[in-house]
Amino acid sequence: MSEPTPAPHFRYPDLPISRHREEIAAALRRHQVVVVVGETGSGKTTQLPKIALEVAGRRRGKLGCTQPRRLAAVAVARRIAEEVGCELGGYVGYQVRFDDRTGADTRLKLMTDGILLAETQDDRDLRQYHTIILDEAHERSLNIDFLLGYMKLLLARRPELKLIISSATMDAGSFSEFFGGAPVINVEGRTYHVDMHYMPPRHSEEEQPEHVCRAVQWLSEYDARGDVLVFLPGEREIRDCAAELERLDLPRTDILPLFARLGLNEQQRIFHPAKGRRRIVLATNVAETSLTIPGIIYVIDSGEARISRYLPGRQIQRLQVEPISQASARQRAGRCGRVTEGVCIRLYSETDFENRDAFTDPEIKRSALAGVILRMADLKLPPLGEFPLPDPPSPRLVNEGYKTLREIGAIDRQKRLTPTGRSLARLPLDPRLGRMLLEAEHEKALAEVLVIVAGLSIMDPRERPAEFAAQADQAHAQWKNEDSDFLSMLTLWRASLEFKERNSLRRNQLRKWCAKNYLNFLRMVEWHNLVQDLGAALQDTMRWRIPALPEEAKQATPDMIHRALLAGAPLQIGFWRPEDKVYRGAGGRDFSIFPGSGLFKRRKRAEWLMGAELVETTRLYMRRAAVLEPQWVEQIAPQLCAHHAYDAAWDKASGQVHAKERVTCGGLTLIDGRRVSYARYSPAAAREIMIRDGIMAQEMKDRAPYLRHLEQMREKVRSVESKLRRRDLIWCQEGVFRFFDSVIPADICSEKALRRWRDKMEPRNPKILCVPYEDCVYPGEDEVRADLYPDEIEHGGEKYDVYYNHAPGEADDGVTIGVHIDQLAEFPDWLPQWGVPAHLADRAEILLRTLPKDIRMFLMPLSTAADDFAEDWFDREPDRPLPQALVEFAMRRSNKFCNASQVDMAKLPAEFITKIWVCDDKGNELALGTSAEALREKLAQYQEKRFAKKAARSFSATPMTRWDCGDLPATVEVGSGTGYPALREDGDHVKLHVFPSAEEAALHHRRAVRRLALIKHGDFLNSIRKKLPIRSMEARLALTTVGQQPKNNLHDTVYAAMDAALAAPLPRTAAEFDAACLRMRESVYDRIAGPLAKIWEQLAATDAAVRQYCLVAGRDRFGSQIAEDVQREWQWLTRPWFLSSAEPAQLADYSRFLRGLQERIKRIAQQPAAKELERIASLNAAVAPRFFTDYERHADSPAWLAYGFMVAEFRLSLFAPALAAKGRASAKKLEAAETLL
């Protein structure tokens, strides 16, 4: 390790402290801690480091000297380097945030107290230093108090370490006492007399810039050349005064600002004044003790400083302008009188001075302990109570500080700093306000929330004089927001900002605007200044970009703003209690909305509120309130919320256990009934519910093999229970649960997780989840004997399933024999009387009791006789009715005659009456009863249809394109019914089929015969189709236009002619078919040219009449209703394939129907519309409504076709009675025919 750089030869200027050099050095050699008290101008800041370095000699390490401010640290380092005669950054260096000017040869390091605190985190014993000087200790900032406490602990670990505490006030006894009676050396201060003058404001409205200008002008009259130092509260006030002084245009005068964030070049202008020019330095309290500005003769003291102070009532840390203490005032006055006699002008009265506090409160006394605790935790210092402080706070306040930090999420339950807390520790703000800004930066609402936070830090600028209350309310209403006082603040801010911009920042205009709108001008100015100061501080400490309002911040929604504000006061919430007409707040406190709030007269009472502060006057009020969405509290402050789950239940759709969740905060229910996964609360309980209500209840989405096995076990046990008639007395629910509980891993509580586990385990052990039968039943329960409780019985070579059910009062209670519909005809009526072997003895005893007494006496005891009877028939197949078998048994025992009719089967209880269940081929139930004979009667029609379908399938033939089926009989026997064989058209070929009705058979046979004729005589029929013998031009045109499918009209006409020729009668043999085809070739042409051509001529005329009528009738309401029915009649007459779908006999009536429609249209014009509407009403009442909408879908039904022609005939009877055929149609006949549809 290299030798330390030797100390240069120090020279000491003629300053008061130089006369105490030996005294200080001697004390430092004898003591570990020395307290030096020197008034302003004594030279302690620049000379103490040199004295300490001389005492240290060639000791390794360096001397560290702290300053409260960066500006002072840099300036002092430069000054000492100049005095020592070395380059800055060499022997003398400095380190402030973002700037390190030290090197390997540095022996004297100037730094801010924050830098030294930060170094303690990596170098807990500060081994790089042999001596530490804490300068300006009288300021008692938090950093200084932290360093004092830390040094007290460190000095015990490092006896060789030296500590010098430098203070500018006489209140140094506390330092000496804190360090165990350390020696105190007093150094006198100024060397020249200072003349004190008091210059209070002329009037209450004199603004500070005007006041300062008045004092400067007074001094200028006295001496226009002496340099002036003006003390002002902050940067904003400095700039305002500078602007006002520039307007005075003082000769040969430089106006120089001095504040902490001042750039290096501007600093040099202060410490290196231009020759022959006067300086007026406008400074914050940075120049009070930290810096000595050479050549100052005059001091103007505003008596104010911007001081951070905690307001307990409002629970916020506020950066506010306050009167300084007497000690600070003396420090400021001491800045003049260094080089000659000086003058200090105090811009307040002497009485005001005498009433001020003697000393400035230590920062720890005016800070929220939450912020103190936060800083200490961030610096990894011991907690309050364990850490030594000159002025330790009370335990109650310490607990309150921890509670606040916990509330805003800065610490966890173990009081450890959270990531949020670490971020908050960097913010130079009250933790609550800092938390709001931190959340605002996250929510992208920083600009808006910054304005609101600044507004919360000052008194409400709105004024409401009692004599002008109504006018004030009216003025303030323009910014009022019924949902949020915070948004009202923002609206007011925007309005003031826009006004200032419109009026080029002129203060007089702003003052008038404030007066007009009942706003406090000074508070509005303070608000604007504070926004700028806070913004600058955030940019400086957090490197945040602060957007301006309003242009760059339009994206922030009210919700974003309120969530950010809620983060700083998450327990300042309340829920409306209508029964008490108050809001219930967190912790059970009841409060009301402050009358001055915009929400006070809200039309609809807000259910939830959030606010900035609670104030107690005659009652507890919430000020600065806003409507709250309660779920925000959970989002913003989850650490304060308690979650409770209830009504947990298995959810099959999601495959997991869900519960309802109740979220509370401070005793208030924020959310209730929210659906959540129960596994978050209790994985073990969720797993049990999954097993019981998911797996065991068969409520899983997967139908996995293990679930099918479980259901089989359940059915097996249920069958046993039904057989023994013991419901839920055998199935062991807990046994099944214990099996699954022992196999399924403890961390699985959802179907998805179970599936993943199964996918891994089942390939190695497919039955790992298959529950054994013995786990499904209670211990000692054996399986029932199959011979006593058979699942199947056999009789006459037929097998019948046997079912058991224990359901008293239900139709299927007891034993049920399953019979297939095909077995029903041969099923013995008496077989159910026997039941099953397990019940035979019991039913025998019951029935034996019904025998005459003279027979029963030979059977006593009856129970034994019944057992004997059951034993006799145990291995035998019943072959007779049970009563008969019982009387035969009784006669053998008694040798007396008795008849089977004497056995009263009605005495059997319901569970012993065997049921018969009849099913179809698919296992669907057809009927359930106790009598086979009654069931056969009930299912007789079903049997007939079933046999008809079976017969039809058996008569089906291969596709035919010629008559290859031989002679067709008119009917065939199918079961106990009759079937009707016929040909059926199937595409371009035909098949043989059996139909259940003659009408259906005739319809399909006619079409099929036509299809065979088309195949056989296709060329001939094509030639007819190409030269259709219809001569009338109207009829030929109608062929292409009339009907719903005009493209089919040509084919339809030929088919109708063929049907008429072939149906005389329809052929049923090959010979008859050939003869019919010959008739067709001979007559088809004439049939088209004759009757069909006339029909087409009538169709053309009717079409024209319908079109003409509907065109005219649609113009009025009644006419349109009539026209609608005319269209409906015309559409049926011209439905698809309307000619060939009709039978030849039906087609003969077509001309009459068409003439009837024409006649109807003529009559309509000759009579009142009401008459026609009455007839239409009669038609609608008689005709089934579904006919008009469904007839096209039933084109293949003879019943529907016949019904349609009956409707047409009924229409004639109503609308053209002269053409109607008597007796063919009536309302009663239509009603009867409807049943066939």
Q: Give the model's pLDDT for residue 228.
A: 94
- 1116 and 1175 share a domain? yes
Average confidence (pLDDT) over 1055-1074? 88
592-647 pLDDT tens trace: 998 888 898 888 889 999 998 887 766 888 888 999 999 999 999 999 999 999 99
Between these two residues, 204 and 683, which has the higher pLDDT value? 683
- 54 and 128 share a domain? yes
Computed over every residue of the chain, the mean pLDDT equals 87
Q: How confident is the model at residue 874 (pLDDT cuts 50, 70, 90)?
A: confident
Asked whether residue 84 is domain-assigned, the answer is yes
Asked whether residue 724 is domain-assigned, the answer is yes
Tokens 């025919």, located at residue: 1233
Asked whether residue 64 is domain-assigned, the answer is yes
Which three-class secondary structure state does DSSP give residue 565? helix
Asked whether residue 96 is domain-assigned, the answer is yes
Which H or E element spans position 278? strand 278-283
- 211 and 340 share a domain? yes
DSSP string for 579-633: TTTEEEEGGG-EEEE-TTSTTTT-SS--SEEEEEEEEESSSEEEEEEEE--THHH
1017-1063 pLDDT tens trace: 988 888 888 888 888 898 889 888 998 889 988 888 888 888 888 88
- 205 and 335 share a domain? yes
Average confidence (pLDDT) over 279-291? 77
Residue 716 has pLDDT above 80, yes or no: yes
Q: Give the model's pLDDT for residue 636.
A: 93
CB neighbour list of residue 671: distance below 8 Å, 6 or more residues apart:
630, 631, 634, 661, 662, 663
Phi, psi of 9 (to 5 degrees): -80, 115
Q: For residues 818-830, b (16+ Cβ closer than 10 Å) or e, as one string? A: bbbbebbeebbee
CA–CA gap between residue 44 and residue 27 (Å, rounded) = 15
Residue 3 has pLDDT above 80, yes or no: no
Q: Give the model's pLDDT for residue 1085.
A: 87
Strand order in 925-929's β-sheet?
A: 792-795, 798-805, 814-820, 915-919, 925-929
Asked whether residue 1015 is domain-assigned, the answer is no
Select the highest-mean-pLDDT range: 104-113, 300-309, 358-367, 389-398: 104-113
Q: How confident is the model at residue 975 (pLDDT cuts 50, 70, 90)?
A: low
- 806 and 933 share a domain? yes
Q: Which of 938, 954, 979 corresponds to the end of one domain?
A: 938
**Residue 115 CB coordination number (10 Å):** 21
CA–CA gap between residue 144 and residue 120 (Å, rounded) = 14
> Could you tell me if 112 and 73 are in contact, meaning their C-beta atoms sit under 8 angstroms apart?
yes
Q: How confident is the model at residue 1224 (pLDDT cuts 50, 70, 90)?
A: confident
Tokens 């006070």, located at residue: 600
Strand ranges (DSSP E) for 654-796?
656-665, 668-677, 792-795
What is the 8-class DSSP label of residue 692?
I
Beta-ladder partners of 792: 801
480-509 pLDDT tens trace: 999 999 999 999 999 998 888 787 657 788
Alpha carbon distances (Å) from 181 to 17, 171, 533: 22, 14, 41
Q: How confident is the model at residue 553 (pLDDT cuts 50, 70, 90)?
A: very low
Asked whether residue 819 is domain-assigned, the answer is yes
CA–CA gap between residue 440 and residue 560 (Å, rounded) = 7
1098-1156 pLDDT tens trace: 999 999 999 988 888 867 777 888 888 899 999 999 999 888 888 888 888 888 999 99
CA-wise closest residue to 104 among 122, 80, 128: 128
557-588 pLDDT tens trace: 999 999 999 999 999 999 999 998 999 999 88
Q: How confident is the model at residue 756 (pLDDT cuts 50, 70, 90)?
A: very high
Q: Which of 776, 804, 838 corresponds to the end of one domain?
A: 776
Q: Which two tokens stand for residue 637?
A: 């402050």
Q: Which of 309, 334, 367 corresponds to the end of one domain?
A: 367
Q: How confident is the model at residue 34 (pLDDT cuts 50, 70, 90)?
A: very high
Q: Give the model's pLDDT for residue 485.
A: 94
Residue 969 has pLDDT above 90, yes or no: no
Asked whether residue 544 is domain-assigned, the answer is no
Residue 1 has pLDDT above 50, yes or no: no
Beta-ladder partners of 231: 283, 301
Q: How confident is the model at residue 552 (pLDDT cuts 50, 70, 90)?
A: very low
Q: Total structural domains in the chain?
A: 5
- 109 and 163 share a domain? yes
Q: For residues 1045-1061, b (16+ Cβ closer than 10 Å) or e, as one string? A: eeebbeebbbbbbbbbb
CB neighbour list of residue 661: distance below 8 Å, 6 or more residues apart:
643, 644, 645, 671, 672, 673, 674, 675, 676
Strand order in 972-974's β-sheet?
A: 972-974, 977-986, 989-995
Asked whether residue 642 is domain-assigned, the answer is no
Which residue range(s) make up the domain with 800? 792-938
- 206 and 352 share a domain? yes
Between these two residues, 168 and 1054, which has the higher pLDDT value? 1054
- 117 and 26 share a domain? yes
Phi, psi of 206 (to 5 degrees): -70, 120
CB neighbour list of residue 69: distance below 8 Å, 6 or more residues apart:
112, 260, 286, 290
Average confidence (pLDDT) over 715-722? 81
Strand order in 162-167's β-sheet?
A: 99-101, 92-96, 108-112, 62-67, 129-134, 162-167, 33-38, 184-187
Between these two residues, 59 and 724, which has the higher pLDDT value? 59
- 56 and 93 share a domain? yes
- 329 and 360 share a domain? yes
Which three-class secondary structure state does DSSP give residue 300? strand
CATH label of the domain that carries residue 300 = 3.40.50.300
359-372 pLDDT tens trace: 888 877 777 788 88
Q: How confident is the model at residue 1236 (pLDDT cuts 50, 70, 90)?
A: low
Average confidence (pLDDT) over 1220-1237? 78
Average confidence (pLDDT) over 191-205? 87
- 150 and 204 share a domain? no
CA–CA gap between residue 984 and residue 1003 (Å, rounded) = 9
> Could you tell me if 858 and 898 are in contact, meaning their C-beta atoms sit under 8 angstroms apart?
no
Global pTM value? 0.55
212-249 pLDDT tens trace: 999 999 999 888 888 999 999 887 789 889 999 999 98
Counting every residue, how long is the chain? 1237
- 44 and 141 share a domain? yes
Q: How confident is the model at residue 312 (pLDDT cuts 50, 70, 90)?
A: low
